[in-house]
Amino acid sequence: MRSKESLKKQVLKAIDDQADAIVAIGDSVWKNPESGYREVKTGKLAVKTLRGLGLATRDGLALTGARADLDSGRPGPVLALLGEMDALVIPSHPDADPVTGAAHACGHNTHIAGMLGAAMGLVKADAANDLAGKIAFITAPAEECIELDYRTKLIADGKIEFLGGKQQLIAEGVFDDVDLAAMIHVGCYNLPQFNGFVMKDITFHGKACHAASPGNGVNAMHAATLAINAIGLLRETFSGDATIRVHGIITDGGKAANIIPDTVRLEYQVRTNDLKKLNELSDRVDWALRGAAIALGAKVEINTLPGYLPMIESPAMTKLYHDAIKRHAPEAILPTPQFSGGSSDMGDVSQIVPAIHGGVPGCSGTGHGIDYKISDPVNACVGAAKILAMMAIDMLYGKATAAKDIMKEKDTKMSINDYLARLRSFAAHNTYGRDN
């Protein structure tokens, strides 16, 4: 058996030898952006890469995802390394798809490249000979919770159950044997404490009439406007809680200025980092929606959908992540967990197994903005591959002693069945007000 240090050097060399190919994957995915549950080209590229490494690969998971296992042949834990695939929809981004408007303004093109790069290095260096257990390379669709109409139709058609790709993978049994999980997000060396959230698909119903005679109708837009203001005024009741975020858009505001709108649709996300508080916050938003409808004689339908659960970073995996950073970038300032107002379905994974959502520099501009770009593709893709591979070796080397120690954290986690029950408990459909 090689020493751990010798193994690391050989894996790092193998990754460096494949650096051009790893960067090329990231570039190809950037140039072919696909939003969640539509990652057909990206999924095929990932599967082709994994099968090209000689790994037996299951595809079609959560529609476009896949899993390939590197099996040591010795009993031990299963470590999942994840790579996200989906893009946002930002038609004004300079590199957006001219037809779909999809653009990789969150850098997921580098996530999948980095995960595949880790697979390349570990396989080509025959790392499995010195490890115990398995490494599951998982390509994850649909992390960005967007295109609600499309995803709710997929749900209605029975193609998926959940909005997020990792949630769907869990529901399909892909994580049944997984003991630990890790991923790297481009941005900076960080450990985000993500919020959980629920989605709300809201429809106000009024009565249409000529705008010159508004007394003959019920203005659904006015009811929606009152609700938006009421939700805004709720903020002062959350003083002292910096984790709370409530934000939304109008997806349908009427068809013509001279017609009192009888239907107005809103889409809202309600976020906080505590599951109990999330339920309370969701209820308060519903009160605002209900009160606005009743006040103006309208009706409101509120379809609440489970979003993502809060992220719990593994303390023990954090240390290994720090060790990998120090090796890759000795000058880097080691990150500490920091609150992020955003959310990720990696939070859902962290509710069932010890997990980490690390980061690596390599992008510039505003995340989810039109100026976002990958400024250092080598570090964003190859650097991520190296950090993931080093963590995998540290956890599974020899008899996988480090991984087994980390797995003790699992005592604080939900079972998959309890997790799924908890997630499903957020789903609700309520109607308030009156028909017109």
**In this structure, are 295 and 378 located in the same domain?**
no
Residues 138 and 79 in one domain: yes
CATH number at residue 86: 3.40.630.10
Structural domain that includes position 234: 196-307+422-433
State the average pLDDT over residues 261-285: 93
Q: Are residues 375 and 227 in the same domain?
A: no
Q: How far apart are CA 345 and CA 337, in angstroms?
A: 17
Same domain, 315 and 374: yes
Q: What is the mean pLDDT of the chain?
A: 96
SS3 of residue 427 by DSSP: coil
Q: Are residues 27 and 122 located together in one domain of the fold? A: yes
Evaluate if residue 434 carries a pLDDT over 90.
no
Asked if residue 88 lies in contact with residue 105, where contact means CB atoms within 8 angstroms, the answer is yes
Angle between helix 108-124 and helix 19-31 axes, rounded to 10 deg: 150
Whether 79 shows a pLDDT value over 80: the answer reads: yes
CATH number, residue 263: 3.30.70.360
Instruction: Tell me, yes or no, whether 297 and 389 share the same domain.
Output: no
Cα–chain center distance at 295:
38
Question: What percent of the chain lies above the pLDDT cut of 90?
Answer: 93
**C-alpha count within 13 angstroms, C-beta hemisphere, residue 353:** 24
Please indicate, yes or no, whether residues 364 and 417 belong to a single structural domain of this protein.
yes
**Residue-wise pLDDT tens digits, 233-250:** 988 887 667 789 999 999
Of the candidates 387, 360, 386, the residue with the CA atom closest to the CA atom of residue 374? 360
Domain count across the chain: 2
pLDDT tens per residue, range 52-68: 999 999 999 999 999 99
Query: Which tokens hold the place of 9?
Result: 């050097």
Q: Angle at the Cα of 109 (from 108 to 115), degrees rounded to 5?
A: 85
Q: Model pTM?
A: 0.94
- Let me know whether 202 and 149 are in one domain: no
In this prediction, residue 410 carries a pLDDT of 83
- pLDDT surpasses 90 at 286: yes
Reply yes or no on whether the pLDDT at 337 is more than 90: no
Element (H, E) at 174: none
Task: Tell me the C-alpha distance between 291 and 299, whole Å.
Answer: 10
User: How many alpha carbons lie under 13 Å from residue 262 in its C-beta half-sphere?
Assistant: 9
> Is residue 124 located within the same domain as residue 205?
no
Q: Same domain for 148 and 240?
A: no
